[in-house]
C-alpha cells in the first residue's frame, strides 16, 4: 500500500492495563494497514513498563513502514532507539533535544495557540507540529484551544512545518480535515474503537486521495 506518499496517519497507544497479545496484534494490524507513525503515549506508567512495551512495539514495527515515536520522554526514546520524540510545550527545549538525538530522528511539537505556532516557525529543527485539538475529545482534558476547521486552515497557512491534526478526528470529519492542507492526522479513539481497525485505516487513507 502506497499510502505513505499521500498522508501521514499517526496512531497513539491507549492501553488501560499492561498490553497483552491481543493489543499487540491490534498494533500489528494497524501497522500492516498503513499507519505511518505509532506514538507510545501511556500517561502515569512506570518507566520499566514503558520500556518493555516500547521494545515489543519496536519489534512489531520493524516489519512495516511505520515509525515509533516516544511521547515526552527523551530517556525512553534514546534507550529504545525510537525513530523520534513528540514534545509538549513543557517537555524540554527542542533545540537541545535535536543536539542529543542527531539529525535523522523525528521531532514533533504540540501547538495549542497561535503564539506557540509563531514561535515554532522560528525553529528549523522540527519535523512536524501538531495542531491540538481540532475538535473536542474525551482523550485529552484541559484543552486550551479547539481549532475547528477554519482555525486549522489558518494554522496550516501560517505554519512553516508540516501540520499533523489531532483531536476528535474520525471518518465523518476527516475529509474536511484533509482539505485544510494538513500533512497528516493523529488518532486514538476512532481506531481503537473501530469494529475493523484494518478497514477503518484503509478508509482514512482512501479519503485522502
Residues carrying an active site annotation: 41, 110, 140
Rounded distance, CA 130 to CA 164, Å?
A: 5
Check if the beta carbon of residue 9 is closer than 8 Å to that of residue 185. yes
Secondary structure element (H or E) that encloses residue 11, with its range: strand 8-12
**Alpha carbons within 13 A on the beta-carbon side of 173:** 17
- Nine cell digits for residue 11: 496512531
Burial annotation 75-93 (CB, 10 A radius, 16+ → b, else e)? ebbeebebbbbbbeeebee
Amino acid at each position: 500500500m502506497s499510502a505513505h506518499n499521500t498522508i501521514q496517519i499517526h496512531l497513539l497507544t491507549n492501553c488501560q492495563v499492561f498490553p497483552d497479545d491481543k493489543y499487540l496484534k491490534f498494533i500489528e494490524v494497524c501497522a500492516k494497514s498503513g499507519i505511518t507513525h505509532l506514538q507510545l503515549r501511556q500517561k502515569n506508567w512506570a518507566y520499566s513498563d514503558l520500556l518493555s512495551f516500547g521494545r515489543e512495539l519496536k519489534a512489531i514495527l520493524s516489519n512495516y513502514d511505520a515509525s515509533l515515536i516516544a511521547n515526552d520522554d527523551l530517556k525512553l526514546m534514546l534507550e529504545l532507539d525510537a525513530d523520534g520524540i513528540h514534545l509538549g510545550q513543557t517537555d524540554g527545549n527542542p533545540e537541545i533535544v535535536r543536539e542529543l538525538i542527531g539529525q535523522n530522528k523525528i521531532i514533533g511539537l504540540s501547538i495549542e495557540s497561535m503564539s506557540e505556532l509563531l514561535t515554532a516557525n522560528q525553529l528549523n529543527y522540527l519535523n512536524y507540529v501538531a495542531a491540538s485539538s481540532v475538535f473536542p475529545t474525551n482523550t485529552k482534558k484541559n484543552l486550551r484551544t479547539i481549532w475547528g476547521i477554519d482555525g486549522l486552515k489558518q494554522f496550516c497557512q501560517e505554519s512553516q512545518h508540516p501540520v499533523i491534526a489531532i483531536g476528535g478526528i474520525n471518518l465523518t470529519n476527516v475529509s474536511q480535515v484533509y482539505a485544510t492542507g494538513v500533512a497528516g492526522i493523529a488518532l486514538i479513539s476512532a481506531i481503537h474503537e473501530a469494529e475493523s481497525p484494518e478497514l477503518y485505516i484503509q478508509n482514512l487513507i482512501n479519503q485522502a486521495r
